């Protein structure tokens, strides 16, 4: 099957809109650049959308839910049944990220990308690719066609979100075992040893952590993914959730809607998207640096700097949601502050080199 259309290029950032946004920031009566990365984020959104009138109202968090066959290797504290339990709680608005999203005025949209069994409850967007992935310690997680299908679903979610007037998207995931799959993907894409990219996930002890690292090493050696082919890496080592999030980032670039990266798993999906379509980074905003060991390394590979460094590692999109009020506050200054001329003050000048 040919899914190449889904990876079509995005239009380059609008440098005129970016310059207008930067000029607006520089006219605000405050020291130049004093809101740091918040100013940069607003300028980046302006460049992406082609307008210096940056607005991020009508925002949504997509939580992609999927199961991973590698759980059978004992790489997690809990079993795959927990994925379904949390997915149902997401539909009820009864998880940590739902509470946080209410404060951030963001809608939470849980998506079934491929849990181990079909849900018996409503409220999930159905984008099932399969009944969970296969065990990467025994063979590929999925076929190449399945990886493409999951990515296309993510692109389509972004397209529909744009069509319904969404101005900001956030990424989240729910899937027991997905710190194992994401660590495997990160190790290959960044050329790093498994030990340096693998963490304790939801709280593994030393013995389970060593087993997790060994499983990742075995999976890489057995499947021999091509580090220069991100689709091959996703198909052999990833999950339906990771591939779907990669599609969301691609869709953000194609349809000009900014997408907040969450933590380590989400950033691994963003890294895969950047390898599939380098221009997709124009839509990516980094919310926080994960408490997982390679959280910072993945963001560095993407050329992104996080807004928050709080040691968070909950997942579900909690880090991405936590960044939204910061962006809201930045835009309150951007749109509502007096200029130097308004208050009769000479404008600050850049320091001489």
39 as an active site residue: the answer is: no
Confidence at residue 141, expressed as pLDDT on a 0 to 100 scale: 98
Point out the least confidently predicted range of 13-22, 179-188, 194-203: 194-203
Q: What is the mean pLDDT of residues 183-189?
A: 98
Range 59-327 has CATH code 3.40.50.10210: yes
pTM: 0.95
Given the residues 73, 149, 292, 316, the one annotated as active site: 316
pLDDT confidence tier of residue 2, bands split at 50, 70 and 90: very low
| Chain segment 129-149, per-residue pLDDT in tens | 999 999 999 999 999 999 999
Does the pLDDT of residue 192 top 60, yes or no? Answer: yes
Confidence at residue 1, expressed as pLDDT on a 0 to 100 scale: 43
Does the pLDDT of residue 338 top 90, yes or no? Answer: no
Does the pLDDT of residue 156 top 60, yes or no? Answer: yes
Confidence at residue 302, expressed as pLDDT on a 0 to 100 scale: 98
| Chain segment 208-232, per-residue pLDDT in tens | 889 999 999 999 999 999 999 999 9
| Chain segment 247-266, per-residue pLDDT in tens | 999 999 999 999 999 999 99
pLDDT confidence tier of residue 350, bands split at 50, 70 and 90: confident
> Three-state SS across the chain?
CCCHHHHCCCCCCCHHHHHHHHHHHHHECCCCCCCHHHHHHHHHHHHHHCCCCCCCCCEEEEEEEECCHHHHHCCCCCCCHHHHHHHHHHHHCCCHHHHHHHHHCEEEEEEEEECCCCCCCCCCEECCCCCCCCCCCCCCCCCHHHHHHHHHHHHHHHHHHHHCCCCEEEEEEECCCHHHHHHHHHHHHHCCCHHHHCCCCCCCCHHHHHHHHHHHHHHHHHHCCCCCCHHHHHHHHCCHHHHHHHHHHHHHHHCCCCEEECCHHHHHHHHHHHHHCHHHHHHEEECECCCCCCHHHHHHHHCCCCCECCCCCCCCCHHHHHHHHHHHHHHHHHHHCCECCCCCCCCCCCCCC
Dist CA 264 CA 186 (whole Å): 9
């Amino acid at each position: 099957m040919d899914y190449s259309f889904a990876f079509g290029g995005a239009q380059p950032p609008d440098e005129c809109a970016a310059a207008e946004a930067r000029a607006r920031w520089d006219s605000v009566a405050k020291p130049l650049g004093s809101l740091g990365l918040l100013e940069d984020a607003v300028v980046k959104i302006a460049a992406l959308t082609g307008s210096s009138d940056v607005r991020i109202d009508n925002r949504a968090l997509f939580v992609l839910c999927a199961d991973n066959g590698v759980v059978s290797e004992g790489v997690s504290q809990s079993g795959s049944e927990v994925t379904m339990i949390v997915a149902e709680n997401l539909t009820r608005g009864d998880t940590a990220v739902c509470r946080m999203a209410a404060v951030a005025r963001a809608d939470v949209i849980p998506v079934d990308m491929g849990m181990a069994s079909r849900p018996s409850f409503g409220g999930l967007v159905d984008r099932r690719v399969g009944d969970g992935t296969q065990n990467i310690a025994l063979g590929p997680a999925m076929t190449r066609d399945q990886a493409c299908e999951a990515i296309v679903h993510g692109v389509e979610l972004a397209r529909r979100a744009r069509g319904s007037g969404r101005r900001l998207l956030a990424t989240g995931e729910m899937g027991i075992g997905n710190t194992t799959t994401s660590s495997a993907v990160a190790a290959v894409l960044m050329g790093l040893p498994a030990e340096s990219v693998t963490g304790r996930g939801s709280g593994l002890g030393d013995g389970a952590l060593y087993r997790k690292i060994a499983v990742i090493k075995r999976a890489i050696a057995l499947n021999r993914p091509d580090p220069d082919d991100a689709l091959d890496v996703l198909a052999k080592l990833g999950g339906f959730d990771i591939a779907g999030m990669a599609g969301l980032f691609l869709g953000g670039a194609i349809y000009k809607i900014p997408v907040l990266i969450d933590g380590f798993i989400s950033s691994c999906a963003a890294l895969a998207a950047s390898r599939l379509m380098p221009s997709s980074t124009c839509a990516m905003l980094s919310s926080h640096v994960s408490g997982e060991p390679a959280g910072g390394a993945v963001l560095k590979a993407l050329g992104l700097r996080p807004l928050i460094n709080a040691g968070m590692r909950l997942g579900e999109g909690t880090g991405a949601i936590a960044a939204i009020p910061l962006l809201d506050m930045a835009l309150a200054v951007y749109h509502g502050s007096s200029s130097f001329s308004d208050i009769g003050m000479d404008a600050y000048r850049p320091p001489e080199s």
